[in-house]
Structure formats: structure tokens, C-alpha cells
Amino acid sequence: MSDYLTGIKEFLNSEVIPLEQENLPYSELLVKLIDLRDQVKSAGWWLPQLPGEVGGMGLSLEQFGPISEILGGCPYGHFVFNCQAPDAGNMEILIEHGTPEQKEKYLQPLLKGDIRSCFAMTEPDTAGSNPILLATTATADGDDYVINGHKWFASSADGAEFAIVMLQTDPENENVHQRASQIIVPMNIPGIEFVRNIPIMGVAGEGYFSHGELKFNNVRVPKSSILGSEGAGFSIAQDRLGPGRIHHCMRWIGICERAFGMMCERAMSREISPGKSLATKQTIQNWIAESRAEINASRLMVLDAANRIDTVGAHKAKVEISTIKFFVSNVLMNVLDRAIQVHGALGITSDTLLSHWYTHERGARIYDGADEVHKSNVAREILKSY
């Protein structure tokens, strides 16, 4: 293991993971996490997903993968290193598509960790897997756009400084992929209604750990707020989502590894009759073996997809990206379910992280493209050669 991977793992185990047991209010937790961010900066691990010229570690996507896996083993890991969604994706598209003024106002504070952001694309009344059906609009009015619409699952909107909103600017364009644009919208301007943090299986969350519902009521922003060019929203989204799915998959593998370790420890320590532990049962042994194989396979598939993106770009790695998205999300749920079952009643309590992950990661098979969509995409691409 590279020196920085060893150091990051030791730091996570000694400084970040212990916070899981403190059960702090969000405001107190945030103070401690920000203090840890200063340590990460001092160690040279800040922004591991970004190039050196913007203050990152300058790693390739394939090199970042193992870091993301390590950080995924703790709910706070990515936040402490400033490589958490949705900020990480917003940084990437601002670097690629932002104007100098946008970079100065929005990107630089994000890179420093001074502010947070959110990304508002999904809508409650349109098919989330089909961005060309967006109902939110931005209508030109002189030098401004006037935005109206309804968004939800704008993750981390609670406390965000700005949102990048995907919406329709040219709904009549014959090319459906050129109807949408992405516009930067400050969260403190008139017309933005913060409806709520959406409860996820009963848990609404707070601040960074939340999913916001927003309404835009005649929100007025200057035309200079557009990201890239008008009609480029779909293309920019594809630039964002490809590498983003790699980030998610490596994070899920980190969760799998942590849950796998917990499952094995429980199997060895839980006595079910005198002198016999759960680990003596063949069903438990099967689950351990199957989980190990699935996690290993997932890791190799994700690193292969990352290598392909690094080599030829995300647009030419669509099959690999879609394949890992549905495969690894299902491995995640398999491993978590087995670990919960091995823990018995303890597994469904909040005394372990298993119930937290099961609650918040069930969405892995839905967000960034539902399993069924990705499977269809993969099959269509394969069948083209036949």
C-alpha cells in the first residue's frame, strides 16, 4: 500500500471513526469535522480527487479509487477530505465549464472548504432517470433568467451557499438533448423556497447529511450565471455523472469492507451453543465467502472502469460505467443484508452502523440512474455488435 494510503487509513481509524460513537448534535459534529479538515490539509491529502493546479493531490481517477474506498468506510470520511458529493461533482464541472468570474466566486471557496453547494436536477413530477423531461424552466427576460420549478433530492441543500440547477432554457428545441442548461443559483436570493429535508425511511437528516426539497418561484439570476453555454446542460451532466459513479462505487466498496469486517467479527464472537459460534454454521460461511468474492470482483471492475476513463474519457467508457453502477450497488445491498442477518436483532438497531447504511444506501440502486436503466444501456451497446 502506498504511504499516503497507509497514512489516510490510520488517520481515519484514529481520528474520524471514533466520532461515530459520540452521537453529537450536527452543529457540534460539524465543528469537530472542520478541525479534522485542517489536519488533512496539513498532511497534503486535501482534495484527493482533483488536479494539483487547483490544490488537489493530482491523482488519476484510478489512483483516487483506493482512497475513496478507505474513506467510504466511515460516513464522515469523504467530507473531512473535501471530496464528498455533491461538492466534488460541482467542483469538477466548475473547473471544466466555469467562467473566470464563476470560478472566483464559487469554485475557490469550495476548494478551500469554506462553503458547501448542492445540485438540483431531480423533480418529483418527472421521471428522474430521463433528464430531457425536466419541467423546471429558465425564461430569458432582458439580461436575466427567471426560474420556476420544483426540485427534490437536492442533496446537502440545507446550508448550501449555492445550487447548480439543471432546467429547460429552450423547451421547443428539436434536439431534445439541447433543451436543458445548468445555471448557478445562490441559495439566499428571493424566490427560493426551502420546503424540507426529505425523510429517508423516516430519517430527515440535517445540513450536509440531508436531501432537500426546493421550489423556485420567479427566481431571477443574471444570464452570466449559466454554466458553459445555453443548451449544454445534458452534455455537462454526462461529464459529471460518469466519474461521479466511479466515486460512488468506490465508496460503496468501502462500506462493504467495513460491514464485512463487522460480519466476520460477529460470526466469530457470537456463541450460539456451548463452544460453538455462528462461524461454525455453513450458511454463515457461505455468506462470508460470497461477500469476499463479490467485493473483490467489484473492486477490480471499478478500477478497470476508472482506468478506461483515465485513458479514453468517460464518453467512451459508458458500458463500463453502467456495468459497475448496477453491479456494485447490488453487491452493497447483499453484503449489508448478510451482515445485518448475522448480527440478528442488533443489526436493525442504531447501535451499529449497519442500519444507517441500509437506510441511506438503498437509494444506490436508484440515484445516478436506476439499475434497470443501466442494464438496458449495457445490453443495447453490446447488441450493436451483433
Residues 154-176: tens digit of each pLDDT: 999 999 999 999 999 999 999 99
Tell me the domains of the chain and their CATH numbers.
3-98 (1.10.540.10), 117-227 (2.40.110.10), 235-383 (1.20.140.10)
β-strand partners of 256: none
Amino acid at 139: T
Q: How far apart are CA 292 and CA 302, in angstroms?
A: 16
In the predicted model, what is the mean pLDDT of residues 316-340?
Answer: 97
Residue with the bigger pLDDT between 2 and 52: it is: 52
Q: 71-101: string of b/e by CB count within 10 Å (b at 16+)?
A: bbbbbbbbbbbbbbbbbbbbbbbbbebbeee
Contact 240, 166 (CB under 8 A): no
pTM: 0.94
Look over the chain and give the mean of its residue pLDDT values, rounded to a whole number.
95
Q: Is the pLDDT of residue 269 over 60?
A: yes
Instruction: Look up residue 74 and give its three cell numbers.
Output: 466511515
Residue 314 has pLDDT above 90, yes or no: no
Q: How confident is the model at residue 324 (pLDDT cuts 50, 70, 90)?
A: very high
Note the pLDDT tens digit of each residue in 87-119: 999 999 999 999 999 999 999 999 999 999 999
Give the whole-angstrom CA distance, residue 220 versus residue 216.
9
pLDDT band at 241 (very low <50, low <70, confident <90, very high): confident
Rounded CA separation 92/380 (Å)? 29
Long-range contacts of 46-53 (CB under 8 A, 24+ apart): 46/81, 46/82, 46/113, 47/81, 47/82, 47/83, 47/91, 47/111, 48/81, 48/83, 49/83, 49/88, 49/92, 49/247, 50/83, 50/91, 50/92, 50/95, 50/111, 51/95
- Looking at residue 77, its pLDDT comes to 97
| More confident site: 243 or 54 | 54
The answer, yes or no, to whether residue 238 has pLDDT greater than 80, is yes
Query: How many Å apart are CA 70 and CA 81, to the nearest integer?
Result: 11
